[in-house]
Amino acid sequence: MTDAIETVAALIAHAGVSYVLIGGHAVNAWIEPRFTADIDLTVSAGPDGLARLGGALASMGLTVSQTHCAELPSGPDFVRFTTADGGTVLEVQVAKTEFQREVIRRAAEERAMRVATPEDLIVMKLIADRPKDQIDVHGLAALPDLDWAYIEHWAAEWGVTDRLRRLHAADE
* Span 85-126, pLDDT tens digits: 887 789 999 999 999 999 999 999 987 789 999 999 999 999
DSSP H or E run through 66: strand 63-68
19-57 residue pLDDT tens? 999 999 999 999 988 888 889 999 999 888 888 999 999
Dist. CA 97–CA 82, nearest whole Å:
25
Edge-first strand listing for the sheet containing 39-44: 63-68, 78-82, 89-94, 39-44, 18-22, 113-115, 108-110
CATH code of domain 1-116: 3.30.460.40
Domain extents for the chain? 1-116, 117-172
> What does pTM read for this prediction?
0.91
